[in-house]
Structure 1
Amino acid sequence: MTWRDPKYPLPDEDAFEAIKAGVDALPPGSKMLLNSGEFYSWDFTTANLQLLARFFDKYPDYAERTFLSVKGGAPANSLGLDSSPENLRRSVDAINAALRGTKKLDLFECARVDPKYPVEEVIKILVGLKNEGKFSHIGMSECAAETLRRGHAVHPIAIVEIEVSLWSYESETKKVIATAQELGIAVAAYSASTISLASRLPLADGSILIRSPTENDIRRHLTRFKEDYFKHNMAIVDAIKVLAAKKNISPAQLAIAWVGSLGAHVIPLPGSSVKKRTLENLSGGDVELSEADKAELAKIIADHEIKGDRYFGNDAAAHLWG
């Protein structure tokens, strides 16, 4: 909602309606997982959290109907890694300051694993901040399965956030999902669509809904959306559309259903800034996939090699599977 070209801002009311629609559609007693970040804006500020604070100002009853997970741990107003005790405290305090007391920070997680600090030390720092009442749960993000196990040994990890999409279903993805199931940890399954202007669903940055990224779309910078790779990579989207048509559902709903079918502990994390799309995405959670459907999807993944890495041409620089 806020990781957008500043020339094309999303009006608050549009954002608010998209959030409200999702929460209102849930069964009584359920909570909507909201995923935010200290740096979710084009200038890496707390704009996303400020948006949420304005939402909870207007709709205070929704604070208890949502579970807020926020990534931090980068240097102030930038991307990068700094899991020092001083910066983790700064990051958590900046998040809470942006929220202005409108909503309890339910879960904090470092956006990436900082190789300068053993994960055990980082989790111990977060335990201290949690015990001070600054947030309620500890998460991890973009970590390898063994790293998740090490962190969980220090303090229970509530959620691990990793990319899970039909364009990105790697061997380490499967290991993290299995390890999380063993340890009783939820998986928040995002797609790289969370860094796109028009993120829609967990299939390759919303690619089901576009045929090419537009000028104001951050996806045009992603390797898989470069002209050399884009047409090749869209072949899997066409295959998904065929199967979705057979089931009389949208490709978005099929992609979300596939993510959810990977385990009861796996939570699809599609992005939407439109009320209609939010409701469509939620309906994907109700789609039941047969074993034949799953087998066909597995064959589609196996038959379609995806060209390009997940981000900007250097996955190592993106600190994936830390």
Structure 2
Amino acid sequence: MTVQTVTTLGGTASGVKVGKVAHGLMMMTWVPTPVPDEIAFEAIRASADSMPPGVKILLNSGEFYAQDFGTANLELLARFYERYPEYVDRTFLSVKGGINAAKHGPDASPEALRRSVTNILAALRGTKKLDLFECARVDSDYTVEHTIGILKGFVEEGLFDHIGMSECSAESLRKGNAVHPIAAVEIEISPWSMEPETKQVLSTAEELGIAVVAYSPLGRGFLTGQIKSLDDIPENDMRRRFTRFRDPEIFKQNLTLVDALKAIAERKGITPAQLCIAWVGSLGTKVIPLPGSSNAKRTIENTTAADYVLTPEESAEIGKIIDSYEVKGDRYFGLDPKAMHLWG
């Protein structure tokens, strides 16, 4: 098998070459104490520097990536680009928005979407073009066609270049793409987050030539094997609210999955994190794992996971583990998926 370290996005961005592993920036600022600029900047530079010539690193940010739902993440990026303008053309910036902070839910009204995009651009201060905008969730109060139609108008205005979708169903992805070509769809994929709808989105995206940006490929750090108990997670960390972390019995049971994956990684001579990233990336030529990192060394470990190819036997073994193990707990807060606006 051939190592695939570079891919392209889809839709109107089908000519954009990006690394097979992206870089998530959320936890640089969505923490009680944001990461110092110098450390964050070093991690961002490391991800871009790991790309071959002419290939961009996909950076994933959000309008609301802060504990106060503010624009701290984007402001961090603005400071980065002001300090290192040579990285502007070496990065592809994808930003999620369209969230109503007051109700902690999506808002796809025309006024809210324009306000969101305007807020993002203001936070970036003209340092970097907004390459791709995506609504973080599908707003059930509006049709997908309505939402993508508004975003299409924003593209025509020159506010950003490409449209993405996030946490949407396969049906919604198809509907959105019919209005305007979708460059990428962002969904959660990992060995402990492989739902039936995940597979449907993967197959639909492949059919339509849309890139899949797979967030949390490491199960929010759980699958790395570094988290042994809830005590290993900092106070006020959002993961303490998730059932897979906060419930001691569920936590203990899910370690069985971690141990099984760790055994395969050890045989292959790579870390469990690299194994998970390589597995997610193997799900399709345009499937781009999106691990998050605020540390340059860890960032390089993540991006170089694209260098590892799983043998058919290894892939089959991982697939058997996933199929035979029922992951305990849900992906978020113990709520009905519709309450979290998942698979909209």
TM-score (ref. length: structure 1)? 0.94
What amino acid is aligned across from residue 158 of structure 1 in structure 2?
Answer: A
What displacement does 1:166 show? 0.7
Listed one character per residue, the Cα deviations across residues 93-129 of structure 1 (whole Å, up to 9, x for unaligned) are 0000000000000000000000100100111100111
Name the counterpart of 1:228: 249
Name the counterpart of 2:208: 183
Number of residues of Structure 1 aligned to a counterpart in Structure 2: 310
Which of 81, 106, 117 is matched with 2:142 structurally? 117
Supply the distance in 2 between the matched residues of 1:53 and 1:261 (Cα, whole angstroms): 33
Secondary structure of the equivalent of 2:340? coil
What amino acid is aligned across from residue 52 of structure 2 in structure 1?
Answer: P
What amino acid is aligned across from residue 69 of structure 1 in structure 2?
Answer: S
Name the counterpart of 2:64: 39
Maintained 8 Å contact 1:23/1:65: yes
Name the counterpart of 2:339: 317
Structure 1 unaligned segments of length 5 or more: list them. Answer: 192-201
The answer as to 2:244 corresponding to 1:219 is no
Maintained 8 Å contact 1:44/1:77: no
Asked which structure has the greater RCO (Cα within 8 Å, sep 6+), the reply is: 2
Listed one character per residue, the Cα deviations across residues 26-80 of structure 1 (whole Å, up to 9, x for unaligned) are 1000000000111001000011000000000000010110000000001257621
What displacement does 1:210 show? 1.1
Secondary structure of the equivalent of 2:67? coil
Q: Which range is displaced more, 310-319 or 112-121?
A: 310-319
Q: Which range is displaced more, 8-17 or 143-152?
A: 8-17
Supply the distance in 2 between the matched residues of 1:160 and 1:223 (Cα, whole angstroms): 25
- Shift of the 215–276 alpha-carbon distance from structure 1 to 2, 3 Å rule, reads closer
Which of 173, 177, 184 is matched with 1:152 structurally? 177
Supply the distance in 2 between the matched residues of 1:309 and 1:15 (Cα, whole angstroms): 30
User: Once superposed, which parts of structure 1, at least 4 consecutive aligned residues long, lie more than 3 Å away?
Assistant: none
What displacement does 1:304 show? 1.6
The answer as to 2:269 corresponding to 1:248 is yes
Percent identical among aligned pairs is 63
Which of 277, 281, 299 is matched with 2:320 structurally? 299
Maintained 8 Å contact 1:38/1:70: yes
Secondary structure of the equivalent of 1:292? helix
Supply the distance in 2 between the matched residues of 1:78 and 1:2 (Cα, whole angstroms): 21
Aligned positions of 1:1-322 closer than 5 A: 1-5=28-32, 8-76=33-101, 79-191=104-216, 202-207=217-222, 208=224, 209-213=226-230, 214-216=233-235, 217-226=237-246, 227-314=248-335, 315-322=337-344
Structure 2 unaligned segments of length 5 or more: list them. Answer: 1-27
Supply the distance in 2 between the matched residues of 1:248 and 1:47 (Cα, whole angstroms): 38
